[in-house]
Chain A
Amino acid sequence: MTIVEKILQRINRPELLPILSEELTPSELNSLLLEVFRRQTGRLSPAELLQQYQKNRFVKPADTDFMALHALETRLLQIFETFRFKAVELSPVAPLGCCSVVATADQQKILSALRGTEVLADATNALALHVADLKKSGQWKPVSATDQLRFSAIQRHVRTPKVAIPGHTQHFKIGCLVSSGRDTGSFEFERESMAEHLAVMTALLRDALQVDALRFKFIRRSGNADGRLLEQVKNHILQLRNDLVIETETTPSRENQYYKGLQYKILITVRGQEYEIGDGGFVDWTQQLLQNKKERFLITGLGVEMLFRLMA
């Protein structure tokens, strides 16, 4: 029996959940919950508020040196912008379902909020919405078929699963790159956009932060018509640059429906220890949002806070 079922059984209101989730409109549910929270907070004393603060694992400040982390973020954003990934400061909240509607993400892992929102759990999903909005509203129109939209962001993310690894926290800074374009045949978008993301990560990690070693791992994922994507992208990048280390995993041990066709991981060595500092790949989110199979979207996520701790 789930926690929700136990609660409904205790209050003897088994019909409550279908009423709230199915019979009420989102707006009505929001109004109802706002009133519930207003009453609850009305009963809360300052002493109880402090107790809540001390108990709640989501609300404590980050234990990083803010100024130093901010300086690192500025360096990262400068590099992103130099490679024409326009920096965007996203809202701390996204529309409810921002991640779970288009991606294989469980809504339970996201801090759902009121007024049709959720606390930002993945900036790449929010950037996908931003891109889709720009395209659908006509605010961005490509001049040529191969034009791309490129955005970057560094945002604090909140995720609900309790962290088990020492040093990990419920909220953390992630740096993101996204590229959006259209399929023009021969995997042109995929080849060029992935080469650009790797060029940015190389300039950042190898050249600016001077990590001991940097390598990328390409992992074949399902969702691509003929499976040639990985080889096409890898060969293109290695033709352009012979200074990148790219390894491939064509028969991955674990299935992953999140990425379509190709996932990649960013691995760095710092003081003799290798760390997976980022990952990315192609996703179909803009295809779903814009209802257009020709849409292509590449995302990269970089653990900025982890990087900061490693480079300290």
Chain B
Amino acid sequence: MNRGRVIYEDEAEPNFRLAYPSAALAAFVAYYFEVNQSATLANPLYLNALPNLSNLLCISLNPQSWLSINQKTGTVNAVKGSRLLGNLTDLHTSIYPAGVHEFYVKFRPGMLGQLVGFRTGEVENANVDLAAFIRLTELEERMQAAAVFSERVRLMEAILVKPVLEIPIDYRQKVVQIALQKFDRNAFNPNQPLRAICRELGVSYPSLHRYFNETLGYSPKYCQKIIRFKNALQLYKRHGSRYPFEDIGYTDFSHFVKDARQLTQRLPSEL
């Protein structure tokens, strides 16, 4: 049954384009992407968004609404226009009918909040009109006027670079960002528990916990859990249930399935 699917950054998709930020913005922006759905109304695109820590700016390039359904609560949002999309604590399924064309900026955890003035936890599962945060008309018009994705990326970089580089990054935020990188697959070592990461960062666990709560609104354990799950799901999609899940911090495959159920209320095969 089609219940949507998760698309990863390295997957080639006809409806998606993705670009990474310049070095100057790499600490703030994870990447830019665009959804340009040309399918018919009869065959909408179904995508799943996993629980995550990222906040998104969504610039509408075409006035076609789409549906966002919180799979835990059943809340349905008909999303139209440019939006600020909060980080997710629940699985969300997006249904894009024909004509949806949107440009997204995916900020690193906590960074959009720094720019606009909120804590990540304050906008969890939020889907709000971007006009409430920034002057939108001119931005939308300029983005819509740009002919191609690469031009829109350049334009967005030029718009972001000044305000973003003025964001004051304090010691706590730096520690949180480094810890998040360590949680990610490439840096993550299952034999390195949180205590070891704390030692490496030169902070106690209570301090790390406090830094995470102050900057993101979540505990380090919760953040580690959702990052690990995202990476594990990608490996499951590539290698199936025989992948050695203990290599990425799970006790076994059942542990991974249990996390899937807890975080998304679904089996990994349904994501």
Using a CB–CB distance below 8 Å, which chain A residues touch chain B? 75, 78-79, 81-84, 192, 195-196, 198-199, 203, 207-210, 237, 240-243
Contacts of B2 in A (CB 8 A): 241-243
Please give me the 9 A-B residue pairs with the lowest Cβ-Cβ distance, nearest first. A195-B42, A243-B2, A78-B78, A240-B43, A82-B65, A196-B42, A208-B76, A196-B41, A75-B76
**When the two chains form their complex, are residues B97 and A83 in contact, meaning their CB atoms are under 8 A apart?**
yes
Query: Is the Cβ of A81 less than 8 Å from the Cβ of B95?
Result: no
In the complex, what distance in Å separates the CA atom of A151 from the CA atom of B2?
26
Complexed CA–CA distance, A242 and B43 (Å): 10
Chain B residues 26-48 with CB under 8 Å of chain A are 40-44, 46
Inter-subunit contact A84/B97 (CB<8 Å)? yes
- Is B117 close to A, CB under 8 A? no
Q: How many whole Å from B74's CB to the nearest CB in chain A?
A: 6
Given contacts A208-B74, A209-B74, A243-B2, contact A237 B65 (CB under 8 A): no
Contact B41 A199 (CB under 8 A): yes
Bound-state Cα–Cα, A208 to B95, Å = 10
Are A79's CB and B76's CB within 8 A?
yes
- Decide: B67 and A192 in contact? CB cutoff 8 A: no
Contacts of A203 in B (CB 8 A): 44, 67, 95
Instruction: Specify the chain A residue showing the minimal Cβ separation from B3.
Output: A207
In the complex, the answer to whether B67 meets A79 with C-beta atoms within 8 Å is yes
Interface residues on B, range: 20 to 34
**CB-based contact A237/B42 at 8 Å:** yes
**Main DSSP-derived SS at the B contact region:** loop
Considering the complex, give the chain B residue whose CB is closest to the CB of A239: B43
Chain A CB within 8 A of B66 CB: yes
Q: Output the least CB separation between B91 and chain A (Å).
A: 12
Q: Which of A78, A84, A207 contacts B41 (CB 8 A)?
A: A84
A79-B67, A82-B65 are contacts. A199–B74 as well, Cβ < 8 Å?
A: no
Q: Once the chains bind, are A79 and B78 in contact (CB under 8 Å)?
A: yes
Given the known inter-chain contacts A79-B78, A243-B2, please indicate yes or no for A208 contacting B69, CB distance below 8 A: yes
A-B contact pairs, 7 of them (CB 8 A): A75-B76, A78-B67, A82-B95, A82-B97, A192-B40, A196-B41, A208-B69
Please report the C-alpha to C-alpha distance between residue A81 and residue B77 in the assembled complex, in whole angstroms. Answer: 12
* B93 in contact (CB, < 8 A): yes
A83 contacts B69, CB within 8 Å? no
B66, closest chain A residue (CB) = A82
Inside 8 A of A78's CB, which chain B residues have their CB? 65, 67, 76-78
Give the distance to chain B from A10, nearest Cβ to Cβ, in Å. Answer: 58
Query: Among residues 75 to 114 in chain B, which have CB atoms less than 8 Å away from a CB atom of chain A?
Result: 76-78, 93, 95, 97
**Known contacts A82-B78, A208-B74, A241-B2, A192 near B42 by CB under 8 Å:** yes
Nearest Cβ in chain B — how far from A86, in angstroms?
12
Measured between beta carbons, the chain B residues less than 8 angstroms from A207 are 3, 46, 67, 69, 93, 95
Whether A81 touches B43, Cβ cut-off 8 Å, given contacts A207-B69, A207-B93, A243-B1, is: no
Tell me the nearest residue of chain A to B2, going by C-beta. Answer: A243
Question: Shortest beta-carbon distance, B150 to chain A, in Å?
Answer: 29
A218 to chain B, nearest CB (A): 15
A208 to B69, CA, bound (A): 6
Chain B residue numbers with a CB within 8 Å of A82 are 65-67, 78, 95, 97
Contact string, B155-185, partner A, CB cutoff 8 A, digits 1/0? 0000000000000000000000000000000
Bound CA span A261–B41, Å? 23
| Cα of A209 to Cα of B40 in the assembled complex, Å | 23
Q: Which residues of A contact B40 (CB under 8 A)?
A: 192, 195-196, 240
Let me know if B42 and A81 touch, CB within 8 A: no
Q: Chain B contacts of A195 at CB under 8 A?
A: 40, 42-43
Determine the distance from Cα of A82 to Cα of B3 in the docked complex, in whole angstroms.
18
A198 cross-chain contacts in B, Cβ below 8 A: 42
Q: Would you give the shortest CB distance from A180 to chain B, in whole angstroms? A: 15
List chain B residues, Cβ under 8 A from A199. Answer: 41-44, 97
> Which of B43, B76, B97 has the most chain A CB atoms inside 10 A of its CB?
B76
* Apart from the given pairs A79-B76, A83-B41, A199-B44, 7 other A-B contacts in the complex at a CB distance below 8 Å: A82-B66, A195-B43, A196-B42, A199-B97, A207-B93, A208-B74, A240-B43
Q: How far is the CA of A71 from the CA of B74 in the complex (A)?
A: 13
Residues of A within 8 A of B46 (CB): 207
What residue of chain B has the Cβ atom nearest to residue A150's Cβ? B41
